[in-house]
Amino acid sequence: MFDPKAIDDIARKLADSLPSGFSSLQDEMERNFHSILQAALSKLDLVTREEFEVQKGVLAKTREKLEAMEKIVAEMEQKLLPPQDTDTAKQ
């Protein structure tokens, strides 16, 4: 679900941002950051950009079809329902 390279890059950046006194622990901290990030991200209900774009396209097509069907139904209603006389409706 998540790009392991992206998680590695974030973990590396976090480890690199540690003060110079922690340089001896940098590799260990990078592994810890990686594990923590991977665990936290796996708990989130996220989708990839590709999945999002696919669903966005499906939604757009569905909207188009719905609008077309609404237009057809409105036209059918116009043909099937007799026009109401406004004078008769007032009485």
In a domain, 88, yes or no: no
Q: Are residues 42 and 54 in the same domain?
A: no
Q: Could you tell me the residue range of the domain that residue 15 belongs to?
A: 1-46
Sequence-ordered alpha helix ranges (H) in 21-85: 26-43, 49-80
In a domain, 90, yes or no: no
| CA nearest to 16, candidates 26, 25, 7 | 26
Tens-digit pLDDT string for the chain (91 aa): 567 788 888 888 887 887 777 777 777 888 888 888 888 888 888 888 899 999 999 999 999 999 999 999 999 999 998 777 666 555 5
In a domain, 89, yes or no: no
Q: Are residues 64 and 42 in the same domain?
A: no
Whether 45 contacts 1, CB under 8 Å: no
Q: Are residues 37 and 52 in the same domain?
A: no
Domain count, the chain: 2
In a domain, 68, yes or no: yes
The whole-model pTM stands at: 0.48
In a domain, 91, yes or no: no
- Both structure tokens of 61: 């097509």
